[in-house]
Amino acid sequence: MEAQAHILVITFFFFLVLHWLAKYYYKPKTTLSHKLPPGPKKLPLIGNLHQLALAGSLPHHALRDLAYKYGPLMHLQLGQISSVVVSSPKMAKEIMKTHDVAFVQRPQFLSAEILTYGQKDIAFAPYGNYWRQMKKICVSELLSAKRVQSFSHIREDETAKFIESIRTSAGSPINLTSKIYSLISSSVSRAACGNKYKEQDEFVSSIQKLIAAGGGFELDDLFPSMKLNFITGRKAKLEKLFMQVDKILENIVKEHQEKRVRAPEGTIQIEEEDLVDVLLRIQQSDTLEIKITTTSIKAMILHSCIHTSNGWENYCCRSDNKDPIY
């Protein structure tokens, strides 16, 4: 029995390698492959992954060194993913401003598909009428100067708690990264969902776990055609965490809907609205080209909490280390 098991394992990996080789060597050639930027030579199957792996926990250093050699626009093959790396302000402007429509589509990642309710947020929604409408709502309603200013009392309150927690720990070592994350996450979740709501601590904790589980590249992202989820178990883990967050978001939206039903018309001032209130108000308006669903609202709130918390945590930690921020 043991010998048979070994034969089965060897046979499985033999056909796995054959499949990879067939994908690599017998893919149809297109004219686009001749227009790719310069880049380092690729190895079979893994492409240029080894050059990033050799950098350990600092893959951006490897990208910097490669950019010195191949220029500010270079091509890397990351497993089955063909990637173009941009490493200069001039080239970034060309892609993000001058030719933004040509690069507007988003890559398909497992974590993005799950955490965005099937690409219903702004970051990963396909370019089209829905994306333009949600972007307009985000710019004019959710992130307007007036709206951001209306949340100043939340920022002041959470900052005071942050300073007090450091003061009470005087003389003892503290985990500044954890405290900064708590500050940002609490501020964002209160602005998005309201000053007081049930399960706030659980929600913030679940968001932190989602960011940790969904960040970075995994085998299933680099070799999507191989369907390696059964090996990594990442999909099941992400779906479990996502269901916990979705349940909380569903309760938050229902609480806000019930509040709007109970409140007399006109008693909820625009200045006092949180982001869920704003999206529910827009949902009930007759000015939308595409109707906003509850799923879209949950996707937008989750997007705000994940991306804002993660971005500002990195910003604050780098500032603390006196690294330049670009």
Cβ–Cβ < 8 Å for 267, 277: no
Torsion-angle region of 217 (φ positive above 0: left; ψ -120 to 50: alpha; else: beta)? beta
> Quick one: 199 and 245 in the same domain?
yes
Give CA–CA dist 21/35, Å, rounded: 24
Q: Please, what is the Cα angle at 263 between 202 and 284, to 5 degrees?
A: 80
Give CA–CA dist 38/45, Å, rounded: 19
Among 68, 103, 138, give the residue marking a domain's end.
103
Band (pLDDT 50/70/90 cuts) for residue 23 is low
Q: Looking at the domain assignment, is residue 109 inside a domain?
A: no
- Give the pLDDT of residue 63: 92
- Give the pLDDT of residue 293: 92
Give CA–CA dist 297/66, Å, rounded: 41
> Quick one: 50 and 157 in the same domain?
no
> Quick one: 220 and 287 in the same domain?
yes
Q: Looking at the domain assignment, is residue 114 inside a domain?
A: no
DSSP 54-74: TTTT-HHHHHHHHHHHH-SEE
Cβ–Cβ < 8 Å for 239, 114: yes
Cβ–Cβ < 8 Å for 292, 279: yes
> Quick one: 306 and 158 in the same domain?
yes
Give CA–CA dist 47/115, Å, rounded: 28
Cβ–Cβ < 8 Å for 228, 219: yes
Which one, of 217, 227, 226, lies nearest residue 45 by Cα?
226
Q: What's the rounded mean pLDDT across residues 71-99?
A: 91
Give CA–CA dist 166/159, Å, rounded: 11
- Structure tokens given for 310: 């993660």
- Give the pLDDT of residue 123: 84
> Quick one: 133 and 98 in the same domain?
no
Q: Which residue has the higher pLDDT, 227 or 141?
A: 141
Q: Looking at the domain assignment, is residue 173 inside a domain?
A: yes
Q: Looking at the domain assignment, is residue 6 inside a domain?
A: yes
> Quick one: 166 and 23 in the same domain?
no
Mean pLDDT, the chain, rounded, equals: 80
- Give the pLDDT of residue 115: 87
Total residue length of the chain: 326
> Quick one: 92 and 134 in the same domain?
no
pLDDT digits (tens, 9 = 90+) for 232-257: 788 888 899 999 999 999 999 998 88
Q: b/e map of 35-74 (b: 16 or more CB within 10 Å)?
A: eeeebbebeeebbbbebbeeeeeebeebbeebbeebebbb
Question: Would you say residue 8 has pLDDT above 50?
Answer: no
Q: What's the rounded mean pLDDT across residues 84-111?
A: 87
| CATH number for the domain harbouring residue 180 | 1.10.630.10
Q: Looking at the domain assignment, is residue 39 inside a domain?
A: yes
Among 103, 121, 152, give the residue marking a domain's end.
103
- Give the pLDDT of residue 221: 81
Give the residue carrying structure tokens 């509850």. 294
Give CA–CA dist 26/171, Å, rounded: 64
Q: What's the rounded mean pLDDT across residues 45-49?
A: 88
Give the residue carrying structure tokens 């299933």. 220
Structural domain for 141, as ranges: 129-320
> Quick one: 220 and 270 in the same domain?
yes
Q: How many domains are there within the chain?
A: 2
Q: Looking at the domain assignment, is residue 16 inside a domain?
A: yes
- Give the pLDDT of residue 325: 39
> Quick one: 173 and 315 in the same domain?
yes
> Quick one: 30 and 175 in the same domain?
no
Among 34, 68, 103, give the residue marking a domain's end.
103
Q: Looking at the domain assignment, is residue 224 inside a domain?
A: yes
Band (pLDDT 50/70/90 cuts) for residue 65 is very high
Among 140-154, 248-262, 299-313, where is mean pLDDT lowest? 299-313
Q: Looking at the domain assignment, is residue 124 inside a domain?
A: no
Question: Would you say residue 310 has pLDDT above 60?
Answer: no
Among 4-8, 96-100, 235-239, 294-298, where is mean pLDDT lowest? 4-8
Q: What's the rounded mean pLDDT across residues 20-30?
A: 53
> Quick one: 97 and 146 in the same domain?
no
Q: b/e map of 123-156 (b: 16 or more CB within 10 Å)?
A: ebbeeeebbebbeebbeebbeeeebeebbeebbe
State how far the alpha carbon of 43 is from the alpha carbons of 24, 47, 111, in Å. 10, 5, 27
% of the chain with per-residue pLDDT over 90: 23
DSSP 148-215: HHHTHHHHHHHHHHHHHHHHTTTTS---HHHHHHHHHHHHHHHHHH-SS-TTHHHHHHHHHHHHHHHS
Band (pLDDT 50/70/90 cuts) for residue 129 is very high
- Give the pLDDT of residue 326: 40
> Quick one: 160 and 300 in the same domain?
yes
